[in-house]
Structure 1
């Protein structure tokens, strides 16, 4: 961390995060350490927000929404894919993200408990996301607005959000109102500059990232599939408008930068937000000024894209 100019509050967050160490390399222990860290950094649920656990064909989801009565058309809805290297986390580990968003805007968020690698590598997690997307699009949940759907994900979840947009285009289905990608993983290539310059950055190293990549998409055969890694796409025309947020000190920094260029070249509207002084996974650090600014910008783009106002 000595090589990175972190604000004191963010440096304290990184130091606290380092205390959540897995008891062993066993995937079960790693998952528990990750879940414990998420619980620790989750603030109390803000007043006026409710959460409900439900399922779609046996696939667990968590629905966050305002406690107020839903508009007649239902709440504008964000489908959310959690991070965790495709191998950790669940629909219940990222309350902190939903709380930060719903403190700012009256929408619903649906978090999906997609299957995890290495037991369930690509495309299983994406297939789970598509199943939930189809249910939302059909109007299976009356309190959710099937005509105002967006998608988001952080880290590995960002790859799934971007991949879902690619998959929908391949199926000739409507795109989300917005794809919000937060420090997303968008290629398995190691050629991008930030993969070297920030190889030992706090919270995520390049070596750790590559291990997760190999767990999610073993071997080389499917790493060129743009549904897995959207930067591999030949033509991005027709994909959803994008908010792409990157952390300054992150091996994934150039993933988001490069994808913004690809989308813009294809005529896709893009807002690129660079989180100055931020590191990977820093959105868990609620209360840190730079993190709160990131959420402010992200939510403003959601508001504009999803028409997030109370409707009678």
Structure 2
């Protein structure tokens, strides 16, 4: 099945490929320069700074317009190959989660590689999760309805956070993983099939992974780098969203298989005409909007229906 026709027109009009060419500063500038249409201005925001493992850790708190009573809370972890992206470039994504799930969303501005390689991002996100769990009441949120969501590299960190939260006794209600990196296994077929896909290529995957790893060998690394290698029993239910034209498609699908084998309820959705990063095309490409709304509905149901 070909790439969605509307999406293809957008890709032709605004071509972009994640790349490490030119080093971190150039990669971050290219990512920041992507045209983004502001969405859901009715969602309110408040910037916070907490004490993180590496110093001050910025957070942005989002509240939906119907913020009456105690709401669920979602920790949102942005993507960008662990090396690009920030609170501003993922502002729209966080707003979509807040409005769609009718939840307080806390977005975390974790330290970026290669200046801060693994496990800096894991440490920062873990600190943010602990802060949210301990301060939910202050945010008008219910710590008993706490979920984690992340896309791409953020999906990796969300999967790791779910495992760490279970181990620390912090109950999570749900994990929403957008096209996550979980196995570091580039022998999976989608890495070959989509080696030259739009947005994210196999070369992009390799370059950003090298930046994040520093001197760590993924073949022997702990589950805080490779969540597919972790103990998966007792994890919260998961929705895993993958895309047909994405090197990471089979990676997310494989993690879903492993979770299911461990007794974790999993819903896997393959948006077969879309590309990596389709969350960013919400409201622009109807097929992407539908796929995003489906995942957000699952998040809302997990937080409100039980």
SS at match of 2:101: coil
Which stretch shifts more, 259-268 or 8-17?
8-17
With normalisation by structure 2, the TM-score equals 0.91
Deviation at 1:303, TM superposition (A): 1.5
Q: Tell me whether 1:247 sits opposite 2:243 in the alignment.
A: yes
2:45 to 35, 43, 51: 51
Show CA shifts across 1:266-305 (max 9, x none): 0000010111200111221123121111122111211221
**C-alpha separation in 1, matches of 2:20 and 2:249:** 30
Q: Which moved more, 1:15-24 or 1:82-91?
A: 15-24
**2:228 equivalent to 1:238:** no
Residue number among 138, 145, 149 corresponding to 1:148 in the alignment: 145
Conservation of the 8 A alpha-carbon contact between 1:70 and 1:143: no
Flag the 1:22–1:158 CA change in 2: closer, same or farther, 3 A. closer
Answer with 286-295 or 205-214: which moved more. Answer: 286-295
Unaligned runs of 5+ in 2: none
Question: Which stretches of structure 1, 4 residues or longer, exceed 6 Å deviation after superposition?
Answer: 20-24
**CA apart distance, 1:20:** 8.0
CA distance in 1, matches of 2:275, 2:207: 19
Listed as ranges, the gaps of 5+ residues in structure 1 are: none
Counterpart of 1:274 (choices 253, 270, 273) is: 270
Alignment of structure 1 residues 44-83 onto 2, 5 Å = 44-57=38-51, 58-71=56-69, 74-83=70-79
Tell me the equivalent position of 1:221: 217
Following superposition, the deviation at residue 22 of structure 1 comes to 8.2
CA distance in 1, matches of 2:20, 2:159: 33
2:19 and 2:212 map into 1 onto residues whose CA distance is: 20
**TM-score scaled by length of structure 1:** 0.89
Q: Decide whether the 8 Å contact of 1:175 with 1:239 is kept in 2.
A: no
Per the alignment, residue 83 of structure 2 pairs with 87
Hey, what's the Cα distance between the residues in 1 that align with 2:183 and 2:20? 30
Paired residue total: 299
The CA distance in 1 between the partners of 2:250 and 2:21, in whole Å, is: 31
CA distance in 1, matches of 2:162, 2:100: 25
In the alignment, is residue 10 of structure 1 matched against residue 7 of structure 2?
A: yes
